[in-house]
Structure 1
């Protein structure tokens, strides 16, 4: 095995934590042939970023990360903001479009809004709840991407559903993220779900990011959309002029919604 860079090591660490809930430095060092000292440095940095919690000789997922991966927990956070963002997102739609919704709680809010609209659409989604929300709508055709059902969630992950994306023309993709920054773009904490979201982003003609204020200027473990792949951001975050200028330089439209 050649030299492994920090992002590669960190990805492996998070994969192990997601699978096993804990890692032991000594065992991981032998498995991936990286020194224990280097892994300790990685874990210290990752703990500072809130991605894990150091233990004697290893690391575990912190309680708040477990909670963050629970869909029911995420669904209740910032509900008013997500509802306002979803309402603004619906304004981008035109009858007859094919759109894609990820499995985020914000995309589910958009699905709830669409369920009460009189509009003809095709909706492709990786969210089980999103598909169920729309399946009774008389004018919306729902396509649920195949994949592995993620534990503690209602999302699909993995590459099983990727092939169908090449057979569909996606006008708009609506996605949320665990974090957004100019350096990393859109990031998430599930390295498995990220692989499917990357394929979804690549298949869409336009990508619309639905981000409440807690997601802005925050990084998570894995990126699924670079800054140059994002066309529009809808947020309740009060943008400074310097940030708006930077978005404009990247040809990203920013819509800021007001919360009352």
Structure 2
């Protein structure tokens, strides 16, 4: 589908074209200049100028013969390797969850790698939001985006997840209330409970759920049927689940029996973003 299509069939204005290029690179990963030009309906010289402008903004990285979306500012430490696992599925889930965001609301984004993809999606298409997070990487991705007010809660830094945990983080969460929560999970076990590898992470996740009006779980299908050490909370009808189309059929039945809502996002196997 040509992302540059519009009602009048006219060429896109520059700002719209830049947005279309960002969206194309987000959806398709590295792309050659000719592919980008075809997608946005512009000439090669125009696209080259646009890519220079986007690179100057820090939005994309130009490489030999093409371009890709830029990584977050800074280094994502141990978080980086896990972010790349099942990346196409995570981005499809983030695309679906993005539609749930309500402008001018207060939103908590936790430190899950799928939630990070939602932050990257929001960077491409900002809206007025007050964002709270305990994830350093999420804060870095969004810190210079207009329309967003970012609050990174304090605490003890857990490098494995680039997250803030511990008594200070817990005390802060107990004094806050959020319109929406977007939460990741390390595992969803056969007892239909969420689990974490870390005791402190499990505790702050439990508090996030307790302090949020609307709750969304963003988790790829590989996390179902596994158990980690620390229990976070059970799945229930208050938790809206976003996963990918590979969710096992037996888990669909379990989720339906719990009265939970589940959205299964499709993605292409060959996708490399």
Verify same fold: TM over 0.5: yes
Evaluate the alpha carbon distance shift between residue 123 and residue 182 of structure 1 in structure 2; reply closer, same or farther with a 3 A threshold: farther
Q: Distance in 2 between matches of 1:152 and 1:240?
A: 29
Aligned residues: 192
> Which structure 1 residue ranges, 4+ long, deviate > 6 Å from structure 2?
none
Whether the 8 Å contact between 1:231 and 1:251 is mirrored in structure 2 is no
Match of 1:71 among 50, 66, 79: 79
- CA RMSD in angstroms comes to 1.9
Change beyond 3 A, Cα 1:166–1:218: same
1:70-149 equivalences under 5 Å are 70-149=78-157
Q: Distance in 2 between matches of 1:104 and 1:240?
A: 21
Separation in 1, partners of 2:264, 2:186: 18
- 1:233 aligns to what? 241
Q: Which runs of 5 or more residues in structure 1 are unaligned? A: 1-68
Moved more, 120-129 or 199-208: 199-208
DSSP 3-state at the match of 2:221? coil
Match of 2:218 in 1: 210
Partner of 2:262: 254
Deviation readout 1:141-186 (Å, 9 max, x if unpaired): 1111111011344111112122333443311111111111351511
Once the two structures are superposed, residues 173-205 of structure 1 have per-residue CA deviations (whole angstroms, 9 ceiling, x without a partner) of: 111111113515111111121111111111111
Q: Which residue of 2 aligns with 1:179?
A: 187
Residues 102 and 175 in structure 1, CA contact (< 8 A), matched pair in contact too: yes
Post-superposition CA distance 1:24-81 (Å, at most 9, x none): xxxxxxxxxxxxxxxxxxxxxxxxxxxxxxxxxxxxxxxxxxxxx9312111111111
What is the Cα deviation at residue 239 of structure 1? 4.1
Q: Which runs of 5+ in 2 are unaligned?
A: 1-76, 269-273
- Secondary structure at 1:214 match in 2: helix
The corresponding residue for 2:19 is none
Q: Distance in 2 between matches of 1:207 and 1:93?
A: 11
Aligned to 1:158: 166
* Change over 3 Å in CA distance of 1:188–1:166 after alignment to 2: closer
